[in-house]
Amino acid sequence: MSNEVTAERHRIAEVRITPIAFRDLPLLNTVGVHEPLALRAVVEVVTDSGLVGLGESYGDAGHLDRLRVAAQAITGIDVWHTHALAAAVHGALAADRGTGGHGMSGMVTGSSTVDRVMSPFEVACLDIRGKSIGRPVADLLGGALRDRVDYSAYLFYKWAGHPGAADDAWGAALDPAQIVAQAQRMIDAYGFTAIKLKGGVFRPEAEVEAVLALRDAFPDHPLRIDPNGAWTAATAIRVGAGLDGVIEYLEDPTTGIDAMAQVAREVSMPLATNMCVVAFDQVKPAVAQDAVQVVLSDHHFWGGLERSRSLAAICDTFGLGLSMHSNSHLGISLAAMTHLAAATPNLTYACDTHWPWKDPADDVIVPGALAFSGGSVAVPTAPGLGVELDRDALARLHEQYLSGGIRERDDTGYMRRFEPGFDPSAPRW
Ligand SMILES: O=C([O-])[C@@H](O)[C@@H](O)[C@H](O)[C@@H](O)C(=O)[O-]
Ligand SMILES: [Mg+2]
């Protein structure tokens, strides 16, 4: 009997990229307000063996162009060959000097263009690899260490509804009492056991008041606030003193590694970031200055799931904590985030997710594969990512993209329609 095993190769034969738009609510942040539609791109990688893998990414026009350029370059590559995939994407974008189209809406981002473009293709290849051997993606990342992944209640100040439209079901959240009510509603519906407040919208004192109100209402929930770099170092130090012993970490209170380091020296709680450490070359200077103590990973801009595991190992090496960042997203991303978090030993914080803010009817996956209970999502055990594309939904959300007319996320431009003098320049306070 021969020991020879012949593994079938699965080479990329075709890539489909579909821009979509899904309904979003008027969530406020330091650069403006969310528009009525959020953009994403759904990536389908098809192999010569007939397998299809899924990825999800930003939907801004500049990013879509880059995804299309990279898609041309990756045909013929074996889905098991991540290095070849990376080299092809790198080569395809070698002449690209553009900086826009990252889907972060004016928030500081020095993330790598190649890593952002690479990510959905790598996730799709992992989906195919899992399907080809009948194993979930978490198994390809070292194996799930937990059956369920915890997410946090991601609170936003928000208007009652989009201007000119009826109030939405969540209503206004513009003061501490309304923020507490929003938290209660979200926790009742999803069971979250940690809470994050998106700040940088009102005067810092008002936001501290909201966090203290949350502490009173939810004494056992770990709390965080994230003003996306809206404060000076001096303001951040003052806020840090006011929240001493109240929050588990303070996320991006100020902008840049130097200012974060200055704050870190003066406050008691860890500082977290998804703004000043968003690429591998930013880890060394941040560690050298002890500027951040927690990095929020995000496979969408760290180059995919395997690169995110490298980030996790680096964080472990340097004694940095690890959490997970989110932007507005749909189910393919939630599945990828859940597999990654399940297979990352040192991801000990509840991950961020914008999930509760989207309309449940707006998704591209067949319902049922992912569900929240007790604030967590069960890690899918079906082969690959464990989610299936709903082609009718994809067509509907693509049509919504075509008719919606939005081609770039622009929270500031949308805000200026209602407040023409709005100035998002950081630091705002
Ligand atoms: O959705 C938003 O408005 C958030 O502010 C998002 O753009 C941030 O990237 C993110 O959630 C964060 O943690 O900084
Ligand atoms: Mg953040």
Question: What's 193's domain CATH number?
Answer: 3.20.20.120
Residue 228 CA to ligand 1 center (angstroms) comes to 7
- Regarding whether 324 and 222 lie in a shared domain, the answer is yes
H helix or E strand, kind and range, residue 358 = none
Please give the structure tokens belonging to residue 297. Answer: 């990973």
Residues 184 and 329 in one domain: yes
Number of domains in the chain: 2
User: What's CA 76's distance to the chain center, in Å?
Assistant: 30
Q: Is 90 a catalytic residue?
A: no
- 148/128 same-domain check: no
Distance (Å, rounded) from C-alpha 139 to C-alpha 145?
Answer: 10
Q: Which amino acid is at 392?
A: D
> Residue 137: enclosing H or E segment and its boundaries?
helix 137-140
The series of mean pLDDT values per 10 residues for the chain, 429 residues long, is 68 98 98 98 98 98 96 98 97 78 69 94 98 98 98 98 98 98 98 98 98 98 98 98 98 98 98 97 97 98 97 98 98 98 98 97 96 97 98 98 97 98 96
Do 371 and 250 fall into the same domain? yes
Report if pTM > 0.95.
Answer: yes
Domain that holds residue 30: 12-138+393-403
The closest residue, in CA terms, to atom 6 on ligand 1 is 327
Same domain, 191 and 84: no
Q: How far is the CA of 214 from the centre of ligand 1 (A)?
A: 20
Sign of the C-alpha dihedral computed for residues 389, 116, 335 and 352 taken in this order: negative
Residues 124 and 240 grouped into a single domain: no
**Cα 220 from Cα 193, distance rounded (Å):** 8
- Pick the atom of ligand 1 nearest to 196's CA: 13
Domain-embedded: residue 49:
yes
If asked whether residues 184 and 126 sit together in one domain, one would say no
Q: Based on C-alpha coordinates, what's the Rg of the chain?
A: 21
Does one domain contain both 117 and 144? no
For residue 5, being part of any structural domain is answered with no
Is 34 part of the annotated catalytic residue set? no
Per the domain annotation, does 1 fall within a domain?
Answer: no
Q: Do the domain assignments include residue 2?
A: no
Asked if residue 151 and residue 87 are part of one domain, the reply reads no
Say if residue 172 is in the same domain as residue 119: no
CA 74 – ligand 2 centroid, Å: 32
Render 276-304 in DSSP notation, one character per residue: S--SGGGHHHHHHHT--SEEEE-TTTTTS
Q: Is residue 417 part of a domain?
A: no
Q: Which of 131, 198, 221, 354 is catalytic?
A: 198
CATH of the domain at 52: 3.30.390.10
The closest-lying atom of ligand 1 relative to the alpha carbon of residue 328 is 1
pLDDT of residue 100: 63
Residue 341: inside a domain, yes or no?
A: yes
